[in-house]
Amino acid sequence: MSRNILLEEKQYLGLNHYSMLRGLVLALFCFVAYYFTEDRERNAELLFFGGVALLVLSLLSMFIKHLHTRVYDSAIELDGLWTTRKVKIDIASVVSVEKVPYSNYILNTPVYNLHRNGTISFYTSGKTAIKLTDRDGLQYIIGTHKQEEFFRVVNELLSKAK
């Protein structure tokens, strides 16, 4: 297998709208509760520092890599967090590729290797995705910020394989 990388994309966990909104809402709740606390000596500091800690954790999560996608000459490799296995999709087994929107929802949770109804999903953030179908009818939906480039590279590899 040639190790020539044709496309590489890294997606980070904290850049997902769902993760950002969740952290901000929880921190806002802590700050509002801090404001309305009557007994400031006991509880107020805990609420204030809890809100600050949530904001710091939300900022730090922007540097946690959730999905690392690499397209080689003969395979697509998807690598997740440190506890997940690498997933390799052989280009020779792919029969079609198409551009699709990932979801109609505004907030989508990040997923890695989620099997549901014959579809395997990989998603961190964004609205666009690539849908690959293999010979067995299994579909892979890979969320990407580089949809046009990803589609072009995989389409060229498919045309070379035929």
Segments forming the whole domain that contains residue 8: 1-162
Write down the pTM of the prediction. 0.80
Q: pLDDT higher for 20 or 76?
A: 76
Written as six digits, the tokens of 156 are 């060229």
| Side chain identity, residue 57 | L
**Contact between 119 and 107 (Cβ < 8 Å):** no
Tens digit of each residue's pLDDT (9 = 90 or more) over 90-143? 999 999 999 999 887 877 788 888 888 889 999 888 889 999 999 998 999 999
Q: What is the mean pLDDT of the segment spanning 74-91?
A: 88
Label residues 1-23 b or e (16+ Cβ within 10 Å = b). Answer: eeeeebbebebbbbbbeebbeeb
CATH code where residue 94 lies: 2.30.29.30
Q: What is the mean pLDDT of the segment spanning 2-28?
A: 85
How many domains are contained in the chain?
A: 1
| Side chain identity, residue 24 | L
CA nearest 132: which of 144, 142, 145? 142
pLDDT the model gives residue 32:
92
CA nearest 158: which of 103, 84, 93? 93
